[in-house]
Structure 1
Amino acid sequence: MEELKPWWTSKAIWTSLIGSAWGVAGTLGLLPEGLNQTDVLTVVLAITGIGGVVFRKTAKVRIG
């Protein structure tokens, strides 16, 4: 039988959730004072997108 891990232990899932949270915060105007929304969201989404792919590719156990 194949080993499965709980979803909350997945770095790929957490990376996606963090990117989504920043996206929602930017949409609602909740970013910290003095930060340019477009620049912050571009950087955060790029990092989390790349991180999600890398973390998923290097995973040794499937999410169950």
Structure 2
Amino acid sequence: MEEHKPWWTSKAIWTGVIGSLWGVAGVIGILPENLSQADVLTVVLAVTGIGGVLFRKTAKTRIS
């Protein structure tokens, strides 16, 4: 039998959620003063892309 875990315990899901929140913050203009929208977009895309792949690769159970 295959093991399943709740969605909220998935590191890959949380990486996407956090990345999305930073993206929304950039769009609505609530970023810290010293960050530009382009800087945030570049970092968020890099971190969420790499994190999503790494977290999915290390996952032992499926999300249910």
Give yes or no for TM over 0.5.
yes
- In structure 2, the gaps of 5 or more residues are none
- In structure 1, the gaps of 5 or more residues are none
Provide the rounded CA distance (Å) in 2 between the counterparts of 1:42 and 1:31: 14
Contact 2:12-2:51 at 8 Å conserved across structures: yes
Deviations along 1:38-61, whole A, 9 cap, x unmatched? Answer: 012211221111101110111000
What is the alpha-carbon root mean square deviation over aligned residues? 0.9
1:23 deviation in Å?
0.6
TM-score for both structures, normalised by structure 2: 0.92
Provide the rounded CA distance (Å) in 2 between the counterparts of 1:53 and 1:19: 14
Aligned positions, number: 64
TM-score for both structures, normalised by structure 1: 0.92
Tell me which amino acid in the other structure corresponds to 1:18.
Answer: I
Would you identify which runs of 4 or more consecutive aligned residues in structure 1 move more than 3 Å?
Answer: none
